[in-house]
């Protein structure tokens, strides 16, 4: 039994020695590893992924509707067919949700020109089309704004010189970008009236310098992504043929 003190002493010496050992990071090194077709496929990983990839591609390639022409966000100065379609579709799909929750209607829609990330090509429209058109996870919000706050929104649009998608709002500006006419649902904007403006969370949070949304009287998160509003609308309409119209125009002085 005389080995116990010796064993304990060695254990204690080792333990103390370990406690006094310190390690420090002296440098970090890295190198670039190029990925190309020359890298061999791992058959085991490929076999595991393949059924999931096929399932996703089948969903994305499912046909939802048909487009009679090709539409881009550059086909107009102040309103575009594709932008008009997106704003109108957002209204058509979101308004029933908003009304069921509040008993009120959305008065107008404002989305952003930069949020249109693809074209709609002539021919079949698929789920993939909607994901390419709106790849972001933006959700729809209904913002309560007084007429005096809508004035700031109108001023922004008149100065932006971009075809931001709008619906239910009509704007006429002159060659100096002064507002000649601004109406919502065909009626003049009333200073003290509360309007419900449908937009997305990116713009509500000040995206594209749309800071006017922060001066609001309340906000309703519909928990409904813009992309899925488009998908739902594609499924309902079967065929789309949007046009440029007079919802936002510039006229000579």
The reported pLDDT for the residue numbered 41 is: 77
- The CB-side HSE value for 183 (13 A sphere, CA atoms) comes to 11
Q: What is the pLDDT of residues 72-105, one digit of tens each?
A: 999 999 999 999 999 999 999 999 999 999 999 9
Would the pLDDT of 34 be above 70?
yes
CA distances for 33 relative to 36, 39, 43, 74, angstroms: 10, 11, 21, 39
Would the pLDDT of 2 be above 60?
no
The reported pLDDT for the residue numbered 18 is: 52
The reported pLDDT for the residue numbered 50 is: 73
Who has greater pLDDT, 145 or 53? 145
Distance CA 113, CA 208 (A): 9
Burial (0-12, 13-18, 19+ Cβ within 10 Å), 152: middle
Torsion angle of C-alpha atoms 54, 59, 62, 66, degrees rounded to 10:
-130
Structure tokens at 248: 């936002």
Task: Give the mean pLDDT of 3-11.
Answer: 50
Give domain limits for the chain. 59-250
Q: Enumerate the β-bridge partners of residue 220.
A: 142
The CB density around residue 153, as the number of other CB atoms within 10 Å, is 23
**What is the percent of the chain with per-residue pLDDT over 70, rounded to a whole number?**
88
Task: Give the mean pLDDT of 52-69.
Answer: 83
Burial (0-12, 13-18, 19+ Cβ within 10 Å), 49: exposed
Would the pLDDT of 16 be above 60?
no
For 59-250, CATH gives 3.90.780.10
How high is the mean pLDDT of the chain? 89
The reported pLDDT for the residue numbered 3 is: 46
Structure tokens at 80: 């575009």
Who has greater pLDDT, 177 or 16? 177
The reported pLDDT for the residue numbered 70 is: 98
Distance CA 170, CA 183 (A): 5
Distance CA 231, CA 143 (A): 23
Element (DSSP H or E) covering residue 146: strand 139-146
């Amino acid at each position: 039994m005389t080995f116990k003190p010796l064993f304990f002493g060695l254990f204690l010496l080792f333990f103390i020695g370990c406690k006094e050992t310190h390690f420090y990071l002296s440098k970090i090194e890295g190198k670039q590893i190029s990925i190309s077709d020359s890298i061999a496929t791992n058959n085991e990983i490929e076999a595991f992924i393949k059924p999931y990839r096929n399932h996703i591609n089948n969903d994305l390639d499912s046909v939802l509707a048909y487009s009679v022409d090709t539409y881009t966000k550059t086909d107009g100065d102040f309103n575009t067919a594709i932008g008009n379609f997106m704003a109108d579709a957002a209204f058509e799909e979101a308004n029933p949700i908003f009304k069921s929750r509040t008993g009120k209607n959305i008065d107008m829609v404002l989305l952003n020109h930069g949020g249109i990330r693809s074209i709609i090509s002539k021919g079949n429209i698929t789920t993939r089309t909607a994901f390419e058109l709106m790849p972001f996870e933006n959700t729809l919000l209904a913002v309560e704004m007084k007429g005096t706050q809508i004035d700031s929104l109108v001023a922004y649009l008149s100065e932006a010189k971009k075809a931001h998608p709008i619906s239910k709002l009509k704007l006429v500006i002159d060659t100096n970008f002064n507002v000649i006419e601004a109406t919502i649902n065909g009626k003049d904007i009333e200073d003290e009236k509360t309007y419900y403006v449908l937009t997305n969370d990116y713009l509500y949070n000040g995206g594209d310098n749309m800071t006017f949304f922060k001066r609001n009287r309340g906000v309703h998160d519909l928990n409904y992504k813009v992309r899925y509003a488009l998908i739902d609308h594609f499924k309902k309409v079967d065929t789309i043929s949007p046009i440029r119209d007079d919802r936002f125009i510039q006229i000579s002085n």
